[in-house]
Amino acid sequence: MKKGIDKLIEKLMSKGINDRKVLEILRKVPREIFVEQPLRSAELCYGETPLPIGHSQTISSVYTVALMTQALDLSKNHKVLEIGTGSGYQAAILSFLAASVFTIERIRDLSLKARSAVESLNIHNITFIIGDGTIGFNEYSPYDRILITACSPDIPAPLFKQLNEGGTMVIPVERNGSQSICLIEKKNGVMHSKDIAPANFVKLIGKNGYETERPQQF
Ligand code: SAM
């Protein structure tokens, strides 16, 4: 797998991923742990595409994970909320760069699998929550950083409320039929937003996201 990672890191650098801490952690966390057995080849795990993880959901491409992680500008004292645990790969990456990570997933089976993948890597600063991430998780708020890894029709109000003053949120948003990753900052309680890249995410489904397509599996 090592050759695959080296090549991918080179590609990421050529695409503007230059945060050394992020690149170092991408090397360290084995993505193959987070995908189904038949997909565990270097070509797929360290290729440039998202991969299926079941339930019509995906593990984001490494470039997308790198871009969003870099945009969060994490410090070791940060408390992070992630919406959309999926495979758990992004949460694992965040766990090495922050103090603690709370990650919410609406599909129970994915959350349980993610938890066991993370445990196999001896990571102990991630709390897994099963539920609707569009309402956030007030009990542990405020969060210094919030990352949403599914596309939202808007910025969910409870998430902005649970963001710490001076904090940053990274979220893919759909406008006029196309998606972009937005960097949101909270300054004196006011939202400042800028688009950082185009995106192609699965939908954020919930009370403050898109409508439920099928019964939720809490
Ligand atoms: N971060 C993930 C990873 O590293 O594998 C990839 C996330 S995948 C692109 C998006 C995830 O968001 C899916 O697992 C989906 O079930 C989840 N999701 C969608 N709406 C949600 C909601 N309201 N609350 C929590 N999770 C949600």
The pLDDT assigned to 4 comes to 84
Indicate the SS3 state at residue 200: coil
The pLDDT assigned to 218 comes to 52
Paired tokens of 90 = 């992004």
The Å distance, Cα 7 to ligand 1 centre, comes to 27
Tens of pLDDT, residue by residue over 151-178, are 999 999 999 999 999 999 999 999 999 9
The Å distance, Cα 64 to ligand 1 centre, comes to 14
Ligand 1 pocket, residue 25 CB under 6 Å: no
Cα–Cα dist 109/122, whole Å: 20
Structural domains of the chain, with CATH:
2-199 (3.40.50.150)
Paired tokens of 212 = 């439920």
The pLDDT assigned to 124 comes to 97
Give the residue, 211 or 167, on which the prediction is more confident. 167
* Residue reference for tokens 């099963």: 130
Tens of pLDDT, residue by residue over 34-46, are 999 999 998 899 8
Residue 60 pLDDT class (50, 70, 90 cuts) = very high
- State the catalytic residues: 60
Q: Using the atom order of ligand 1, give the atom closest to the CA of residue 203.
A: 19
The pLDDT assigned to 48 comes to 83
Torsion over CA: 196, 200, 202, 203 (sign)? positive
Q: What is the pTM of this model?
A: 0.95
The pLDDT assigned to 87 comes to 98
Amino acid identity of residue 159, one-letter, is L
Ligand 1 pocket, residue 110 CB under 6 Å: yes
Q: Own/partner pairs for 51-56, CB < 8 Å, 24+ apart?
A: 53/86, 53/87, 53/110, 53/113, 54/109, 54/110, 55/107, 55/109, 55/110, 56/202
The pLDDT assigned to 120 comes to 97
Least confident of 102-111, 182-191, 192-201, 204-213: 204-213
Ligand 1 pocket, residue 58 CB under 6 Å: yes
The pLDDT assigned to 2 comes to 75
Tens of pLDDT, residue by residue over 69-124, are 999 999 999 999 999 999 999 999 999 999 999 999 999 999 999 999 999 999 99
Whether cis (ω within 30° of 0) applies to the bond prior to 158 is no
The pLDDT assigned to 156 comes to 98
Cα–Cα dist 105/204, whole Å: 10
